[in-house]
Structure 1
Amino acid sequence: MTLLTRETSGVFAIAPTPFDDDGAVDFDSLGRLVDFYESVGVAGLTLLGQLGEAPKLSHDEASRIVGYVLDRTVLPIVVGVSAPGYAAMRALTTEVMSAGAAGVMVAPPNILRTDNQIADYYQGVAAAVGETVPLVVQDYPLSFSVVMTPSIIARIARAVPGFVMLKHEDWPGLEKISALRHLEAAGDMPRLSILCGNGGLFLDFETERGADGAMTGYCVPELLVDVVAHAAAGRREESHDIFDAHLPLLRYEQQPGIGLAVRKYVMKRRGLLTSDAQRTPRSVLSGQARSEIDYLLHRLAERDGRISLID
């Protein structure tokens, strides 16, 4: 079993949860999706995140999804275990880590306001899930309304040995990455693996600021793998060239409210999902929106030959 460390790098693709048109979990599509992620060179997968529609799943469904993916792939798997209370968080963590997960991810509840509250919360998380369980802290203030400064992230990293990875989704967040790396260089905090979200929208410069990779769900993960690999090899122009080709679709997918609908529609067009269904509450793409996405996909396919579509 591979566990997350403070040196973990690469792309951890956040997998959507496939449903059929009746709303049942579609395990056939999930299998195709996992095989596809492996084939394009991701370093790992993240399950039961926001884009996995985790709050819409029963505990049994969530457990079956994690077990199915762990049985199908050797990729390290991060599982989102955020919950209103520590008891549910502890139960799911125990279950998935026993099954072979690489670590768990916890987002802060939106009631946290002060640095002390944030630090106390994550020390409580560590006590609940276990001090040796690799922990990913999700820093996404635009969604969770909890602002984590570099100093409070450093404080948590010093206090919680299991905190090995930051899922960085602050926006704007480039200066935060630089500040964290400066704190590490000064010996004021241990090194953290930093994987970035926001659909990959800023990954071209996040890697240059010191990010180790991405943890996000852009519908063409080959782009994320390319950017991280080019950055690691010092191929700046190649990184920006391929990033620029994908930017129109990245931007379209990042629209608040419809991002998951766009992502699932593209994955259906790519033959990965049988249906682009979401569970309610959900957003629905209009016919015009689908036409716009098709246009972007066809334009992208002219510049990136890996894009093939089915009707």
Structure 2
Amino acid sequence: MSLTPDASGVFPIAPTPFNPDGTIDWTSTERLFEFYDGIGSDGTTVLGIMGEAPKLEPEESVRIVKIAVARMPGKPVIVGVSAPGFAAMRSLARQSMELGAAGVMIAPPPSLRTDDQITGYYAQAIEAIGTDIPFVIQDYPLTLSVIMTPAVIRKIVMDHSSCVMLKHEDWPGLEKISTLRKFQAEGSLRPISILTGNGGMFLDFEMERGADGAMTGYAFPELLIDVVKLQKAGSRDAAHDIFDAHLPLLRYEQQLGVGLAVRKYTMMKRGILASDAQRKPGSSISAKAKTEVDYLLARVAKVDPRAKV
């Protein structure tokens, strides 16, 4: 299976489950991907920023890819292969594709500043991993501090036929989606899938601007699936209604520095993860914060019974 420009739907970003001692919880890892498959996710993305990928040993990364492919049969698995050097990137990319992954995601290093540096980096990265591997551009300036204009994204896409998707995480970014779709309508940009991130914070309107779905890690990916399906069906008010019910929890989960801790705590409460542990160095939330999350879950449950945990 290969990732294509018509990919759409919801690809949850998978956290890496850890035991309290810092070892990987392989039982929870299997359960996590079975959960994603069972709720109707269209695919998944592993070894992303929220997956604590830089903290993993190479053998652990490969095993996670194996499990994701096995537990989500017939669905595309995208592997984050960003690395300081191209040798490590190439190794993980090639191994992942051999294991059955559908494509890879590449984020630009924070040192890039000019348009030429950005496009040059992607040219080198694609040369390193091979032009036969479908890849996703990760555009996440809030964390990576690399600013990609629509014109830069267009150049990367048009220069590399193996580029099939943009993970759009600019903020604010609605106008960027509109601009890219305008390029496509005018014929200066070939068709490309656009999946959005930022925890789903703007998914309600991102879908209306031309996004194809979401690739993010909100602790209730079922909500993301609902919004995407309802928007595609033209049920705008219903999409916004269910989105609005989850928005306070979405917002709380998006706090810089503790977002992953909130997400893992919620997923532990849901029984998906056995522990909310992170591998050191990692963040945690206080007992007070946990009561706040519990309160938000109870409020969401008044509208969405899936939040009754």
Q: TM-score range with shorter-chain normalisation?
A: over 0.9
2:174: which partner in 1? Answer: 174
1:15 and 2:14 aligned = yes
1:88: which partner in 2? Answer: 88
- 1:30 Cα shift? 1.1
Q: Counterpart of 2:167 in structure 1: which amino acid?
A: K
SS in 1 for 2:191: coil
2:215: which partner in 1? Answer: 215
Off by >4 Å, runs of 4+ in structure 1 = none
- 1:281 Cα shift? 1.2
SS in 1 for 2:187: coil
- 1:104 Cα shift? 0.2
2:251: which partner in 1? Answer: 251
The whole-number CA distance in structure 1 between the counterparts of 2:220 and 2:149 is 31
- 1:258 Cα shift? 0.4
The whole-number CA distance in structure 1 between the counterparts of 2:38 and 2:64 is 20
2:2: which partner in 1? Answer: 3
Equivalent runs, 1:252-267 vs 2, <5 Å: 252-267=252-267
1:278: which partner in 2? Answer: 278
- 1:302 Cα shift? 1.3
The whole-number CA distance in structure 1 between the counterparts of 2:296 and 2:63 is 35
1:304: which partner in 2? Answer: 304
Q: Counterpart of 1:125 in structure 2: which amino acid?
A: A
Stretch moving more, 287-296 or 32-41: 32-41
- 1:228 Cα shift? 0.3
2:142: which partner in 1? Answer: 142
Q: Counterpart of 2:70 in structure 1: which amino acid?
A: D
SS in 2 for 1:306: helix
1:184: which partner in 2? Answer: 184
Q: Counterpart of 2:93 in structure 1: which amino acid?
A: T
- 1:20 Cα shift? 0.9
The whole-number CA distance in structure 2 between the counterparts of 1:59 and 1:80 is 13
Aligned residues between the structures? 308
- 1:72 Cα shift? 2.1
- 1:192 Cα shift? 1.1
2:202: which partner in 1? Answer: 202
Q: Counterpart of 1:69 in structure 2: which amino acid?
A: A
- 1:278 Cα shift? 0.3
Q: Which runs of 5+ in 2 are unaligned?
A: none
Stretch moving more, 62-71 or 159-168: 62-71
Deviations 1:213-243 (A, max 9, x none): 0000000001000000001111000000000
The whole-number CA distance in structure 2 between the counterparts of 1:96 and 1:274 is 26
Equivalent runs, 1:3-82 vs 2, <5 Å: 3-74=2-73, 75-82=75-82
Q: Counterpart of 2:274 in structure 1: which amino acid?
A: T
TM-score by length of 1: 0.98
Q: Percent identity?
A: 59
The whole-number CA distance in structure 2 between the counterparts of 1:144 and 1:306 is 34
The whole-number CA distance in structure 1 between the counterparts of 2:187 and 2:72 is 37
Counterpart contact for 2:178–2:210, Cα < 8 Å? yes
- 1:200 Cα shift? 0.1
- 1:83 Cα shift? 0.5
The whole-number CA distance in structure 2 between the counterparts of 1:159 and 1:291 is 50
- 1:299 Cα shift? 1.0
The whole-number CA distance in structure 1 between the counterparts of 2:67 and 2:249 is 30
The whole-number CA distance in structure 1 between the counterparts of 2:284 and 2:92 is 31
Q: Counterpart of 1:112 in structure 2: which amino acid?
A: L
Q: Counterpart of 2:132 in structure 1: which amino acid?
A: T
TM-score by length of 2: 0.98
Counterpart contact for 2:181–2:210, Cα < 8 Å? yes
Stretch moving more, 266-275 or 59-68: 59-68
1:229 and 2:229 aligned = yes
SS in 2 for 1:165: strand
The whole-number CA distance in structure 2 between the counterparts of 1:90 and 1:3 is 17
- 1:308 Cα shift? 3.2
Equivalent runs, 1:118-137 vs 2, <5 Å: 118-137=118-137
SS in 2 for 1:13: coil
SS in 1 for 2:45: strand
The whole-number CA distance in structure 1 between the counterparts of 2:71 and 2:240 is 34
**RMSD, aligned CA:** 0.8
SS in 1 for 2:87: helix
The whole-number CA distance in structure 1 between the counterparts of 2:71 and 2:42 is 15
